Amino acid sequence: MKATFLTIIASATLMAQCNAAPKQSAPAVEQSATAAKQTSRVAKQADASLHDSTQKTIKPAFEVQSAPNDSSLVMQHISKALKYKASIAQNIDADRQRQLLLLHIARSFCGIPYVAKTLENDSKENLVVNLRQLDCTTYVENVLAVYECVKHNRTSYADYLHFLRRIRYVDGNVDYSARQHYFTEWIEENTKDGFVREINTPNPPFNTRQTLSISFMSTHTDAYPMLKNNPEMVKPIAEMERRLSGNTYMYIPKGDIKNTKLLRSAIHDGDIIAIITKKKGLDTSHIGIAVWHKDGLHMLNASQIHKKVVEEPMTLHDYMQKHPSQVGIRIVRIN
């Protein structure tokens, strides 16, 4: 499917150019003009709020790369989540309401095909919107972006773009070196923005320490088209890897992931599960969304094995036993 590019000017406007657009009736044209004005207004507010909250400068322009129907898919997910939120019984405590809403959003993506490297280009970084194909990271990012829209009652497409940009990039700067390629950096930056926080207590179950030694991207540039075709970009990636290396984090070893009261109190429905790996140069190898069943902890994830987004039928304990390189899990809670 041919991608559409939308140029966003951070200082002022949100502009869309539609090539060979179908003819519209007069009322439809008026509605489109009104929608464009509303989108532009919200984009200005979104950029202003990001600047005010971080006091850092956003790069002047970026492009949104998407297929023609991606914006409507985004709006469908937001609309369904809003309806579900309104249906949640108000006598349930606020944290459980949050968990139920997150699970609803996470499950709404089930069945979408797994496709790796949908963010990768070889020359220019764009804000990729693709709800037709997901990998484990873009799945979690889209769950979080839709959740933030609903949580803050900011439910336009421009609002979604604002949240996705902040979630995916350091300071919202759409640049390859600012994309949070390693999930540890993703956690750090999204914690700063107030979207998430890492859970690393109590001990037990968080009884083992991970010490990072990050180098995979800068030592495997052939696996990354942008680095392969733009060698000058390796330096900032290597600098980021050095900054992360040496950091330590508490995690739950995979042998301790059991169906116990302790684990159920430490890991909640809707938490992000980051599976850590012993593969050289990496911090994590897979991520998903936690969901408890009667038989134990399971994971909603964009699965390379199942080739789509699934609610994994195996418990997480059994799943990880089949992957020798996976050593344990870090837990990230969505605020």
Q: What is the pLDDT of residues 188-233, one digit of tens each?
A: 999 999 999 999 999 999 999 999 999 999 999 999 999 999 999 9
Residue 160: band (very low, low, confident or very high) from pLDDT cuts 50, 70, 90: very high
Burial of 83 (0-12, 13-18, 19+ CB in 10 A): exposed
pLDDT for 309:
98
Q: Are strands 61-66 and 127-128 parallel, antiparallel or unpaired?
A: parallel
Q: What is the pLDDT of residues 82-110, one digit of tens each?
A: 999 999 999 999 999 999 999 999 999 99
pLDDT for 50:
43
pLDDT for 34:
37
pLDDT for 252:
98
Q: What is the pLDDT of residues 16-51, one digit of tens each?
A: 323 333 333 333 333 333 333 333 333 444 444 444
Residue 279: band (very low, low, confident or very high) from pLDDT cuts 50, 70, 90: very high
**C-alpha to C-alpha distances, 206 to 25, 62, 210, 262, nearest whole angstrom:** 61, 40, 11, 11
pLDDT for 27:
36
Q: What is the pLDDT of residues 311-324, one digit of tens each?
A: 999 999 999 999 99
Q: What does 89-153 look like in DSSP terms, one character per residue?
A: -TTS-HHHHHHHHHHHHHHHTTTPBB-S-TT--SS---EE--SSSB-HHHHHHHHHHHHHHHHTT
What are the residues whose beta carbons fall under 8 Å from the beta carbon of 285, sequence distance 6 or more? 275, 276, 277, 279, 325, 326
